[in-house]
Amino acid sequence: MTDLSPTILLVEDEPEIRRFLRTSLSSEGYRIVESASGSRGAVDAATHKPDLAIVDLGLPDMDGVAVIRRIRAWSPMPIIVLSARVHERGKLEAFEAGADDYVTKPFGIGELVARIRVALRHAMRSRDGEQTIVLDDGSIDLEKRIARRGGAPVRLTPLEFRLVAVLAKHMGMVVTHRQLLREVWGPTHELDTHYLRIYIKQLRDKFEPDPAQPRHFLTELGVGYRLQPGE
């Protein structure tokens, strides 16, 4: 990564959780800016210009979703949401507001660090604009519209290409059903989730070594999908 350690803004009202995240994330080499409230967080995001924000959804003063909206209004920085399992609905709203990924409380630190790494890598890469997706056993060139699997060409329909392109724009991160349907099929099809089930299955059949145990086209239950590049 860069010589400067990345700065992470942490918007979380519980001091104990802040403390544990500060300790663990500092030891991973990140610089931490802490905000104990939503309104504070929105301000700190503007003044500190962090590389990434972690936002708790259950803030007392202001909805975490509102914080995400305020940050998204001016910055494309990756935003990771901390959600509780009993607040599944809030998670979906957070994604609609522009969150990129989430971890569910209680979470292990390893899980969060993995998400942070993917998000930071993505933020750097999206500036370069990457057009070829490398999978374990194949590749998809979005520009030339060529797909291969184990050396042999694979035929993709125009919609399949479009679906892969939208997922690839957020490589490694969650893209909601709604966003996928809107960008691939158009705004009138936002609720037609069965389209996605059928097309993702087609893509899995074409690219996954074992379509029953997908490694690239991953389901985020109740939220959307995530495209995981090959290792």
Partner 1 sequence: MSTKVRKGYAWAVAAAAACTLAGLAITPRFDLVNIAMVYMLGVVYVALRHPLGAAIATAVLCVGAFDFLFVPPRGTLTVDDLQYLLTFAIMVVVAVVISRLVQDAREQSRAQAGLALEAETERIRSALLASISHDLRTPLAVIVGASSSLVDAGDRLNADERRGLAKSVYEQSRDMSDRVVKILELTRLEAGGLKLQRDWSAFPDILRAALARLHERMATHRVVLDVPDDLPLILVDATLVEQALGNLLENALKHTPPGTVVSVKAERRDLALRVSVEDYAGALSPDQVERVFDKFWRGDPEGGAGGVGLGLAICRAIVRLHGGRVWAESLSGGATAFRFELPIDETPPMPVEAPAAPDD
- Of the candidate residues 74, 158, 187, 188, the single one contacting partner 1 (CB under 8 A): 158
Nearer to partner 1, 61 or 111 (CB): 111
Nearer to partner 1, 47 or 213 (CB): 213
- Of the candidate residues 193, 209, 215, 229, the single one contacting partner 1 (CB under 8 A): 193
Sheet holding 7-11, edge to edge: 31-35, 7-11, 52-56, 79-84, 101-105
Query: Contact at 8 Å (CB) between 64 and 35?
Result: no
Site string for partner 1, 101-130 (x = CB under 8 A): -----x-x----------------------
Going by C-beta distance under 8 Å and a sequence separation of 6 or more, which residues neighbour residue 147?
138, 139, 140, 141, 153, 154, 155, 156, 206, 207
Q: Does 201 bind partner 1 (CB under 8 A)?
A: yes
CA dist., res. 212 & res. 139, Å (int)? 20
Instruction: Tell me how far, at minimum, the Cβ of 85 lies from partner 1, in Å.
Output: 5
User: At 13, phi and psi to the nearest 5?
Assistant: -85, -20
Instruction: Tell me how far, at minimum, the Cβ of 206 lies from partner 1, in Å.
Output: 9
Site string for partner 1, 203-222 (x = CB under 8 A): ---------xxx----x-xx
Q: Does 73 bind partner 1 (CB under 8 A)?
A: no
- Of the candidate residues 16, 155, 188, 210, the single one contacting partner 1 (CB under 8 A): 155
- Of the candidate residues 2, 4, 73, 85, the single one contacting partner 1 (CB under 8 A): 85
Q: Does 194 bind partner 1 (CB under 8 A)?
A: yes
Helix (H) or strand (E) holding 83: strand 79-84
Long-range CB contact pairs, 99-103, < 8 A, 24+: 99/55, 99/68, 100/170, 100/173, 100/174, 101/173, 101/174, 102/174
How far out from the chain centre does Cα 70 lie?
18
- Of the candidate residues 170, 177, 216, 226, the single one contacting partner 1 (CB under 8 A): 177
CA dist., res. 28 & res. 180, Å (int)? 33
Nearer to partner 1, 35 or 176 (CB): 176
Site residues (vs partner 1, CB under 8 A): 85-86, 88-89, 92, 106, 108, 146, 153-160, 177, 192-195, 197-198, 201, 212-214, 219, 221-222
